[in-house]
Amino acid sequence: MFIGKTALITGSTSGIGLGIARTLAAQGAHIVLNGFGERAAIDRLRAELAEAHGVQVRHDGADMARPEAIEDMMGRALAEFGSIDILVNNAGIQHVAPVDEFPVDKWYAILAINLSAAFHTVRLALPAMKRKGFGRIVNIASAHALVASKYKSAYVTAKHGIAGFTKAVALEVAEAGITVNAVCPGYVLTPLVEQQIPDTAKARGITQQEVIRDVLLAAQPTKRFVTVEQVAALTAFLCAEDAASITGAVLPIEGGWTAQ
């Protein structure tokens, strides 16, 4: 489906981003991974994806909090592949605290990585997309782009910002063959979330199953985690020709959370 196209996915050495990279590679896209990790593990991942799917796979460790690093990453990808046909903005961080106790440095870091990084990747990818008359931009937002939760002021602010940014850019490029959409997952059982479950159970004096049902999935009516594969499948669909008329959409995939 994406043979000959290049996809750059930020925050893609693990979790949702890696799931999206795997799905796009399986459909023929060359892949630019981005994210932190052990060098040897990343090299193994690159080789695995390339061999399994017969595509080129590169890794760029650019720090998405630094605009100059993002510019360098985008420049390298564009120089090698000529264009970034599919851009997935997935990198993100989180910090939880009451707003009057929220560390100022955490506020700025969350806005930089979860919101401003998408501005930089999009502005740098668009010229080549416009020249080709084709582009797919998918911003991985969150249910928190649509609703709020206590103690997550920076994250909610950034994700609401991503929703607005998605709509604005979609309107700007609507006649250029470029679509821009946001995907809004609820709780996804990533390795990071899995690691938090035992500690939360211990801290609250409850079972791990109670943590899953009554803490993590309290807001999701299905009481089931969204899977990485489901988020990846929706993202891939939005990049396909069948989704050419879907743009400016902010699409929830969160087990009914925002229907309440």
CA proximity to 139, closest of 220, 233, 248: 248
Catalytic (active site) residue 108: no
CB atoms within 10 A of CB 119: 16
CA 122 to chain centre: 13
**Nearest 5 degrees, angle CA 47-CA 50-CA 55?**
155
Point out the catalytic residue in the list 108, 151, 155, 187: 155
Beta bridge partners of 203: none
Beta bridge partners of 250: 182
Catalytic amino acids?
Answer: 155
